[in-house]
Amino acid sequence: MANPSASKRWLPLEANPDVMNQFIWGLGVPEDQAECCDVYGLDVDLLAMVPKPVLAVLFLYPITSQSEDERIQEDSKIKLQEVSSGVFFMKQTVGNACGTIALLHAIGNITSKIKLVEGSFLDKFFKSTANMDPLERAKFLENDDEMEDAHSVAATAGDTEATDNVNTHFICFAIADGQLYELDGRRSGPILHGKSSPDTLLQDAAKVIQKMIEKNPESNEFNVIALSKKDEQRWWDRRKHNEEQILCFKKSLPVGVPPCQMLFFICALILIFLWTFLISF
């Protein structure tokens, strides 16, 4: 969301997993370890379609006068919560940087589950800001030209025309020490939502998100994106199975058949190969 009081404003990130993936992979998240995925709905069947395990959940929602009043009222209560020291949290001082802040909140709370590329931007960012307070982290980001350039490239890579006049906002849901936290750079601190686990993170976050959507049911500006860990073993098992199918097909090819029939078999083999290639990614 654009912050009128911010001294610097960026173009907003589009709620697009493809754009976000290129963004985080370019900054130091290994492509074979994690990826952003669409969450198409909050009912049980649609949540089951989301690749597991889910590491964090991003939520885009419209800013309204009601949501702003609630934010102000809740901020006074946030300071009374007991927050785990293991939560990575930072403030937002750059206008329209909420998408980047949400991704940093997501990645900052899963550095024990994925190994960032050594020497990458994200590796250096989290190491440099480890002992900073939330506002110091925000200022560090605000003054980082490399991140600003990367954000600008990502913001203009979406399917819709980028504009800095938006009324939507990204937040993140992540787990720290067995608790579900809502992480919003516009808040005074993390918001505790009770116990959770890696196995129930998506479902627990969906319950909180559903309540937020119900407050503004007429809007179509909601979007949910999951940051999931890639299942490398399952990927290789599936690829091995497909390669075995191709091998069986090759052995079944008849010998001494007319060229036109052989051409048919070869075309079928190529189609299977292409299908195997596509579903492997």
Q: Report the catalytic residues.
A: 98, 169
Peptide bond connecting 258 to the previous residue in cis, omega within 30 degrees of 0: no
Using only the alpha carbons of the chain, give its radius of gyration. Answer: 22
Q: How far is CA 74 from CA 51, 64, 69, 85, 253, in A?
A: 33, 15, 9, 21, 69
Contact in structure between 89 and 134 (CB atoms under 8 Å)? yes
**In terms of Cα–Cα distance, which of 281, 199, 219 is closest to 59?**
219
What SS3 state is found at 269?
helix
**In terms of Cα–Cα distance, which of 174, 168, 169, 167 is closest to 185?**
169
Write the single-letter amino acid at 247. Answer: L
**In terms of Cα–Cα distance, which of 259, 258, 253, 203 is closest to 226?**
203
**In terms of Cα–Cα distance, which of 118, 115, 113, 92 is closest to 104?**
92
Question: Which residues are registered as beta bridge partners of 35?
Answer: 228
Q: Please give the structure tokens belonging to residue 203.
A: 């479902």
